[in-house]
Amino acid sequence: MSLLAKAMPSRIGDIVGAANVTEDTAELAAYEVDGVRPSASIRPGTAEEVAELVKLAAAEKLAVIPMGARTKLGTIGMPPARYDLAIDLTRLDRVISYDPGDLTVSVEAGIALAKLAATLAEHKQFLPLEVSFFERATMGGTLASGVDSPLRQMYGTARDFVLGMEFVTGDGALAKSGGRVVKNVSGYDLHKLMLGAIGSLGIITRVNFKTFPLPAETRCWLAAFSRVEDAFAFAQDIRKSPLAPHTLDIFDSHASALFRGRAQLKKSDWSVAVSATGNENVIERCERDLQAMARGASASAFDALDTAAASELRTAIREFPTLITQRSANALILKITPLPAQMAKVVPRLQSIAVNSALSFATLARGTGLVYFALLPAERKTPALVRCVEEILSVAPRDNCRATIPWCPLELKREINVWGVPGEDFPLMQRVKQAFDPHNIFAPGRFVGGL
């Protein structure tokens, strides 16, 4: 048990209330990270309480891991080098301010995505954060883990619509970056460093967003192809066209088989799902152009999906990581980031490596140039699996890609670094870590290069 849990439980209770501190071993099992169990879990109710907890942890040199609904806690990042306190932010779940007319909202980090979506929908608005585990995931955890949304095709990533942020640094300071309005020019966008850093730089307590009007009408189409080259050629034609698709996803027959459990899909070697929004004239124009491009790319079928089927497919694509992990407890998912024009070469190479290792796989690619490649081995760790992953991680840089493993069982983490080889920017990352977390108490060892 940690020094803090032994000697100063009353001090923690004074900060957050005794009812919000857990030291029970059985209950702490839910807060384990890669087999490492903390000495205590704490549920602060305000940003100020988070700051006081961090000050205490820094003074006692106690390692802290912030978390929300823990939907990705056991898969993302490397095992922690140290782990004393779990800071559970789910009590910070309020909408602090919302101005529908100004298209801005400010929320606490522990708010559930689904809860915020319901609030925004009352005013016919939304946030383009349709990520896996959507019904349970919290805002802070979503941003800190850097997970991606199919809606990035039109709206970009969270970097593009997070206006500002409040976060606690490693010395317990409550810092702010950015602002609460769209036209903000004050200071540096330091908050963007928190996106995807898995809590290694600070604890997010509040986020300000730009919101978007809900589309009046959305239509989805599905094109089928027998060859991978034709599927990606179709996607490339769409990107080069005047069309502005809402979503654009390419997936193989193995991913399609997973999706068929949720959506009524025809069997095909490769599928391209594309959606568009707008009035009836815009939708009709998109359908004509897409159908012509599909014929030009040798599509074997091109179908407009009805509302129910489109919704089911959209949910299945969003929940790809969830479906993969449900399909196999041994599964891991690699994330590769080639240029959009390179995907037609990179994806067959990934699949060839898996075939040579006699491993099952499933592929989902975003039109913006991002590939999720899932491996589904019969056993959790085998020499063939390790060699396959090592080869993919080594081949990716030759294609000017970055490869990481955002979903990975612990057994493989003991053999392979899920972040791959640190890049040339690693010395800069080390300096940033030192500046934000001088005592190295935030998720030590979990991020790139052991940060």
Element (H, E) at 428: helix 426-436
pTM of the model: 0.92
Give the model's pLDDT for residue 185.
47
Give the model's pLDDT for residue 378.
84
Q: What are phi and psi of 215, to 5 degrees?
A: -60, 140
Which residues contact residue 383 at a Cβ distance below 8 angstroms, ignoring those fewer than 6 apart?
none
Q: What is the pLDDT along the chain (451 residues), one digit of tens a residue?
A: 444 445 556 688 889 998 999 988 999 999 999 999 999 999 999 999 999 999 999 999 999 999 999 988 878 899 999 999 999 999 999 999 999 999 999 999 999 999 999 999 999 999 999 999 999 999 999 999 998 899 999 999 999 999 999 999 999 999 998 876 555 545 567 889 999 999 999 999 999 999 999 998 999 999 999 999 999 999 999 999 999 999 999 999 999 998 886 666 677 899 999 999 998 899 999 999 999 999 999 999 999 999 999 999 999 999 999 999 888 888 999 999 999 999 999 999 999 999 999 999 999 999 999 999 999 998 877 888 999 999 999 888 887 888 999 998 888 898 899 998 888 889 999 999 999 999 999 999 999 999 9
3-state class of 19 per DSSP? Answer: helix
Name the amino acid, one letter, at 427. Answer: P
Q: Around 17, how many Cα atoms within 13 Å sit in the side-chain half-sphere?
A: 7
Six-digit token pair at 377? 């081995």
Alpha helices in 17-60 (DSSP H): 25-28, 47-60
Give the model's pLDDT for residue 205.
97
Angle formed at CA 225 by CA 221 and CA 230, multiple of 5 degrees: 105
For helices 47-60 and 9-16, what crossing angle results, to 10°?
160
Nearest to 219 by CA among 294, 310, 333: 310
Which residues contact residue 56 at a Cβ distance below 8 angstroms, ignoring those fewer than 6 apart?
4, 8, 11, 12, 15, 62, 172
Q: Let me know: does 237 contact 201? Beta carbons within 8 Å.
A: no
Place of tokens 């909202």: 105
Q: Which residue segments constitute the domains of the chain, with CATH numbers given? A: 1-214 (3.30.465.10), 218-318 (3.30.70.2190), 320-413 (3.30.70.120)
Q: What are phi and psi of 15, to 5 degrees?
A: -80, -50
Q: Around 5, how many Cα atoms within 13 Å sit in the side-chain half-sphere?
A: 20
How far is residue 47's CA from residue 179's CA, in Å, rounded to a whole number? 17
Q: Let me know: does 336 contact 371? Beta carbons within 8 Å.
A: yes
Give the model's pLDDT for residue 262.
61
Long-range CB pairs of 9-15, under 8 A, 24+ apart, other chains included:
9/40, 11/56, 12/40, 12/42, 12/53, 12/56, 15/44, 15/49, 15/52, 15/53, 15/56
Q: What DSSP character marks residue 14?
A: H
Name the amino acid, one letter, at 414. Answer: R
Q: Let me know: does 220 contact 292? Beta carbons within 8 Å.
A: no
